[in-house]
Amino acid sequence: MLGRLGKAVLRRRSPQPVRRRAIDRDDSAQPGDLTTAGRYAFRRNRTLTGSLLSEIASPSERHADLKSPRVQVHTLRYHRRKLVLRLFVLSVGIAGLIWVLYQSVVMPKVTLIGVDSPSAETTQRYEKAIQDYLVARPFERLRALIDIKSLIDYLQHDYPEIQSVEPTVAFAGFGCAKFSIVMRHPVVSWQAGATLVFVDSSGAAFYRNVPESPVVQVIDRTGVQATTNKVLVSNRFLEFVGKVVGYFSMQKYTVSSVILPEGTTRQIEVKLDGVGYPVRLSIDRAAASQVEDAVRAIQYCAEHSVNPAYLDVRVSRRAFYK
């Protein structure tokens, strides 16, 4: 009996499930509360915020407090590299700007090599010509980009007295550059009508004797007007005369005068210092070979005590004298 009764009582007194009760908590923390209680208070139906990746943030995240120390170190290293990269780019940009200012040519300055005390008008003339060249070619405003050969061709077109320009353009202050111009030194001058023509040792003709060098005057005895004679005013004739003077100078002979003899326009007579007779040459034969033949004949006459009235080397490898 007791056994059955006890079992019945136990069945009647089976434990009831405990109802869940709300835990007392501080509900005073509002969604916008940033205090410690507001940040860490558990709220029902809310998602835990935070991420282990610094690039990913939850929609309601205000403070990423779940980053591990290792992630924080990586984040600091990333920001440090980004800052260093930005500083490097900024430094390169500043250095490039300084280089451009250092290389820029806004106002060209001119130095004339071989000219003592050139006039201000002369230097300004060439400075203006260089400025016009740079205006037409703005990409050559930097000294490192200047095409010297093109610059020489441009200057010689209007100023043939310029022989060359030094390849190194020197720094003369921010925005300024110094150009060194080599001027031609004339060896022969000739009055062609109303124009005075100068010729240097290479045979180039020009019209300004900027170095003011002493020159040999060409004496015209042909009786032909130079302005109407195409042979006398041709560049070939002037080039020949200049080369003859230059080649004799290389052989240690100084030309004292150049004469255009009467009755011909295709030959010249050259008088040399220390030689008592003129030398006749033809413009139809190379100047170098004629000067070589003349020097050899002069040495022969000096060795054999021959004093001719003139020496003619117009024929190749032949020298005639009278």
3-state secondary structure of 182: strand
The region of weakest confidence among 35-49, 173-187, 245-259 is 35-49
Q: Where are the alpha helices (DSSP H) in the chain?
A: 2-12, 36-40, 69-103, 120-136, 148-158, 235-250, 287-303
> Is pLDDT at 267 greater than 60 in this prediction?
yes
Share of the chain above pLDDT 90, in %: 23
Look at residue 214 in the predicted model and tell me its pLDDT.
76
> 30 vs 35, 36, 61, 62, 205, CA distance in Å?
10, 12, 15, 14, 99
Mean pLDDT of 31-60: 54
> Is pLDDT at 59 greater than 60 in this prediction?
no
Mean pLDDT of 18-30: 53
**How far apart are the C-alpha atoms of 14 and 94, rounded to whole Å?**
87
Q: What angle do CA 259, 265, 270 make, to 5 degrees?
A: 25
**Any idea which architecture 186-321 has in CATH?**
3-Layer(aba) Sandwich (3.40)
Mean pLDDT of 295-302: 90
Look at residue 208 in the predicted model and tell me its pLDDT.
87
For 104-183, CATH number? 3.10.20
Q: Which range has the top average pLDDT, 58-72, 198-212, 257-271, 274-288?
A: 274-288
Look at residue 86 in the predicted model and tell me its pLDDT.
94
